[in-house]
Structure 1
Amino acid sequence: MGAILKKLAGISLVFYFFLFVLPRFCYEKTGDFWYQTILSDLPFNPRWEAERISSAEMEMIPSLLNQRFFFLGSGMQCFAFLGEDEKTVLKFFKHSPSLLKKGRFLWHRPFLDSIFDSYKLAFQELKEETGILFLHLNKTRSLLPTVTLIDKMGNPHQIALDETEFVLQKAGELICKRLRRQMEDQDISGAKRSLDTLFFALSRGYRKGIKNNDRAFRRNVGFSGDHALLLDAGSLLCDERVKIPMEAQKEVLQKGRNLQNWLLKHYPELHVYYMNLVQQMKEE
């Protein structure tokens, strides 16, 4: 009996290792990235065709892509890579190759549709507020270069951009990092201006009838220079109700709760200023 229990205990340990320990170890080492997960067999879909950018804007894209991009992080929807210039971010949508073969990705399609629709909406209606420079949701031929991605372990990967779905976006400093830096520098007026800029960007989206279902407000809002950016544009949708000031205010109170709590804990003066800005939304 004792031998059987020992054997079962050993099997349980092995099972635990492969189920919990090994995946966690691999995730910490790789950030869950391997290049096959950004490749897909998705067919052309006119629904995902975004409006063309101007010829002047298009001329800038090759130079922005003519650099290496280093692993920055992994979210629910995308892998992000920061350019050597530290001013641009390349985001690749996550795919599961085994599920995206013909006839086997139908369950995944609604999820992709909502994400792609959101990024298309951001690119066409909130380009300035999201900092999206280029959107590529359908595969192309001989339009884009091959780029070098450096993964979390320092390994290079050559990726043909024509064959992938990706977003090129301005890099942004996260809002909490920016406010902390400004407050440590005793730049209270600068921190307040940052909050002003944030609310200006939010208001522009609401006035266009666009809401954001992402509740990770604190982690997904940042700044490029003096401009506030919605760094994650994967949860946007049209909702005419947010054009009503009181509804827009409710949105900010709900989605910005984690930022409110952070301000209250670390910078009560900024929290008061933030809540005054929220109140002003109802009075617009």
Structure 2
Amino acid sequence: MKFLKIPLKIISLLVLVAVFSKAWVFYSSSFRLDKIEPKELFLNRFEINVLENKDLGEILNQKYRFLSKGRQSFVFVSDDNRYVLKLFRFHRYRQSIFCNLISSFEIAKKYTTKIQDEKDDLYYESMNSYKLAYEKLKDETATIYVHLNKTNDLNRKFKIEDKFKNTHLVDLNEVGFVLQKKAFPFKKALLNAKKDKKTIETLLSSFFDNLQSIYSKNLLNKDRHVIQNLGVIDDRVVEIDIGRFIIKNDFNEEKLKEEATHYTTYLKKWLLKNSKDSIEFLDAKLLELTQNKNIKLNEENNAS
């Protein structure tokens, strides 16, 4: 059995290293400056109508502290706690070290090409969604600014503080980001109002008003995790996760009802568990939304 001891020790060591590595990634949120570098991705150009914002310089003229990590970005909050800056995780759109290593083998090329094609599609879908949010849904998403291309007019070295209080200087011209107003989490707002039916219904009304505004512009959010993806600013519910918006030009009453029903599924499940008295109100607002004349008017305009 002695000949098994060395391999077992090696395997145990590898497992231990893997566990500690995973734990470190979780603890540190895996933020590194190289992960926000666009590199070759900034060779792509997204035509975007940049709207003048006189307050942009002042908003960016402060340090931003690490807040969280999302699927698409690292999120930082401003010192005055009024804004969030989402730095894109560009490393998600590049091949892994493993894929780079095996891509030289003919047998693996089909696999690595497929993986990269999927990453390219995800990149373009995400960037186009940010563009839609900025150009068409600024109010509905509390979006102030998006930076999708390399520029030279953001003349400042931007200070960010990571999870371990280390300060980094970032050239905003060289990175991709979204700047939004900071919102109070929708889920927390619902929990705070759990026993207050009137406040719950006020939040639901605002939610449906915002959704109606989005649908009336022939847009929808493919990400249906409503509870996590919404926020509240000055009693208004807004979409804060803006990475999966698409154009929907073929809305009719049936498709609108189907989409709105799917989109509110998680919200309805939450209410069934936490505030059953509000279900009837939600159903009434859902019916009102699907019969909204402004959305139907868009359908008629598209057909003509």
* TM-score (normalizing by structure 1): 0.88
CA offset at residue 198 of structure 1? Answer: 0.7
Corresponding position: 1:25 with 2:5: no
Which residue identity lines up with residue 187 of structure 2 in the other structure?
C
Residue in structure 1 matched with residue 213 of structure 2 by the alignment: 204
Residue in structure 1 matched with residue 261 of structure 2 by the alignment: 253
Structure 2 Cα separation of the partners of residues 97 and 272 of structure 1: 42
Identity %: 26
Residue in structure 1 matched with residue 76 of structure 2 by the alignment: 81
What SS does the corresponding residue of 1:32 show, helix, strand or coil? coil
**1:173 corresponds to which of 184, 188, 196:** 184
Corresponding position: 1:68 with 2:68: no
CA 110–196 in structure 1, closer or farther in 2 if over 3 Å, else same: same
Residue in structure 2 matched with residue 231 of structure 1 by the alignment: 240
CA 204–245 in structure 1, closer or farther in 2 if over 3 Å, else same: farther
CA offset at residue 209 of structure 1? Answer: 1.1
**1:40-59 matches, cutoff 5 A:** 40-41=38-39, 42-46=41-45, 48-54=46-52, 57=53, 59=54
**Gapped runs of 5+ residues in structure 2?**
101-112, 293-304
Which residue identity lines up with residue 144 of structure 2 in the other structure?
L
Corresponding position: 1:115 with 2:126: yes
Residue in structure 1 matched with residue 289 of structure 2 by the alignment: 281
CA 98–52 in structure 1, closer or farther in 2 if over 3 Å, else same: closer
Q: Deviations over 1:81-107 (max 9, x none)?
A: 11112110000111229948xxx9964
Asked if the contact 1:62–1:144 (Cα under 8 Å) also holds between the matched residues in 2, the reply is no
Asked if the contact 2:260–2:290 (Cα under 8 Å) also holds between the matched residues in 1, the reply is no
CA offset at residue 169 of structure 1? Answer: 0.6
CA offset at residue 33 of structure 1? Answer: 0.8
Residue in structure 2 matched with residue 8 of structure 1 by the alignment: 7
CA offset at residue 252 of structure 1? Answer: 2.8
Residue in structure 1 matched with residue 152 of structure 2 by the alignment: 141
CA 212–97 in structure 1, closer or farther in 2 if over 3 Å, else same: closer
Which residue identity lines up with residue 113 of structure 1 in the other structure?
Y
Residue in structure 2 matched with residue 157 of structure 1 by the alignment: 168
Structure 2 Cα separation of the partners of residues 129 and 85 of structure 1: 22
- Alpha-carbon RMSD: 2.2
**Gapped runs of 5+ residues in structure 1?**
none
Structure 2 Cα separation of the partners of residues 210 and 153 of structure 1: 39
* TM-score (normalizing by structure 2): 0.83
Q: Deviations over 1:147-193 (max 9, x none)?
A: 21111122111111111111111111111101222335x4x322211
Aligned length: 272
Structure 2 Cα separation of the partners of residues 197 and 99 of structure 1: 39
Residue in structure 1 matched with residue 228 of structure 2 by the alignment: 219
